Amino acid sequence: MQIGTFNFVLGLSVGLVFAYMGITYTTRPEQRGLSAGVMHMAIWEDEPRVEVPRDSFLTQEDLDKIQKTIRPVQFQDAHSHHYDNREAQKLYDKVRVLCWVMTSPKNLQKKAVHVRATWAQRCNKIIFISSVANDSFPTVGIDVPEGREHLTGKTMKAFQYVFDHHFDDADWFIKTDDDTYTILENLRYFLSDQNKDSPIYFGHHFKVSVKQGYLSGGAGYIISKEALRRFGAHGTNASMCRQDGGYEDAEFGNCMQNLGVKVGNSTDRFGRSRFHCFDPATHLMGDYPRWYHLFDAHGGHSGRESISDYAISFHYVPPARMYELEYLTYHLRPYGINSGNQDLNQKVT
């Protein structure tokens, strides 16, 4: 990378940190976007659904330049970045994760391209699911119309596609949105103590709509190989799994329950959260909408002490913040401090 280009990217990265804080911390709770699965449960009708504000100071040209000049830290980059990644490499080989990202034709160049340029390259296999196939991106076209009312159908057909074509390519299968940022190393560490042959799935747990609760679609949910096997065998049965309509994450949660797939606990051994349905600043500051405190299965806690050091995912992350998180997670470090590894997994009985 040329020095001038590096300074441009570094300057943007540092600037993003302060802009992120300024934009997010001044946002009122009612301006937080509701995920599809909880929107219908909001009992306060005066709270409008408004998406988290987009970055206003970066143009698409800026984002394209960042995308071309930054590549994610890969295992072979360890020497140039001066860190020991041998444990991460072992888990990459041992805990195989297939990621599928829900996107749309209009979001390919606005959002999905930036997911592809950052965290998605650390998946063992990555698939972008859209309503239309795009061989150059590429995306897999699912024959379901676009629109929030069809997210359930899109999800059901996407998992069926993964079962039909990629069942043997991974041990765990995660669904995320194109504005979700995922730290794959932390995901694999968490899954290293879980059993892929158990009918289970993990994510940000809400305790409503389904008897055992369901997992937030925006935060991403990951299902075991056994859960996918059961879905592949019975997922097209409309009496067990709604084929379209309703709210995607809640309907998929009901499907999982009907298939005997349990909601697993993904908190760390200190009870801190790993999957998050909002952006980092919201979970740090606790600037939640009112429904969140009622529906979050673990009490809607906030602050640094409530978020695991090995957090896995955050939602409502616009493209510029994808690169910000990429920089903060894999490049920025304080000199003279070696944090080492922590044992944060809860022991499974």
- Residue 148 CA to residue 138 CA, distance in Å, equals 22
Query: What is the dihedral angle through the alpha carbons of 273, 232, 134, 315, rounded to the nearest 10 degrees?
Result: -10
Handedness of CA 271, 276, 277, 281 (dihedral sign): positive
State phi, psi for 98 to the nearest 5 degrees.
Answer: -95, 130
Beta bridge partners of 99: 126, 174
| 305 has pLDDT over 50 | yes
Beta bridge partners of 262: 200
- Residue 335 CA to residue 200 CA, distance in Å, equals 41
Convert the pLDDT of each residue in 203-254 to its tens digit. Answer: 999 999 999 999 999 999 999 999 999 999 999 999 999 999 999 999 999 9
Which strand (E) or helix (H) includes residue 223?
Answer: strand 221-224
CB 310 within 8 A of CB 268: yes
Place of tokens 């069809």: 150
Say how many residues make up the chain: 349
- Residue 148 CA to residue 155 CA, distance in Å, equals 11
Convert the pLDDT of each residue in 325-343 to its tens digit. Answer: 999 999 998 999 888 899 9
- Residue 234 CA to residue 97 CA, distance in Å, equals 22
- Residue 287 CA to residue 53 CA, distance in Å, equals 14
| 42 has pLDDT over 50 | no
- Residue 33 CA to residue 48 CA, distance in Å, equals 8
Convert the pLDDT of each residue in 199-216 to its tens digit. Answer: 999 999 999 999 999 999
- Residue 331 CA to residue 327 CA, distance in Å, equals 5
Pairing of strands 97-102, 172-177: parallel
